[in-house]
Amino acid sequence: MVEIHEEEHGLYMTSGSGTYLLEDQEHHIERDDFIHMAPYCPQSFRADSSEGAEYLLYKDVFRDGF
């Protein structure tokens, strides 16, 4: 499912791996990778089925300026 958010946010991959869709490009990510997502950027994530995945997500929902 593709989502779009008003806030910029970041993702730090803590374990596993998967594919992240940003705009119209897919990116393979794995442990210790970091992704910055701009506001209004279409995005989705699909974990590799063999091992699953975990990540930390940072989003400042109270930030002004958008």
Per the domain annotation, does 40 fall within a domain?
A: no
Per the domain annotation, does 17 fall within a domain?
A: yes
Per the domain annotation, does 59 fall within a domain?
A: no
Q: From start to end of the chain, where are the E strands?
A: 9-22, 25-30, 34-37, 43-47, 53-59
The pLDDT-based confidence of 66 (bands split at 50, 70, 90) is low
Per the domain annotation, does 9 fall within a domain?
A: yes
Per the domain annotation, does 16 fall within a domain?
A: yes
Which residues is 30 bridged to in the sheet? 17
pTM: 0.79
Per-residue pLDDT of 9-47, as tens digits, reads: 899 999 999 999 999 999 999 999 999 999 899 999 999
Residue range of the domain that includes 1 = 1-33
What is the number of structural domains in the chain?
1
Mean pLDDT of 60-64: 71
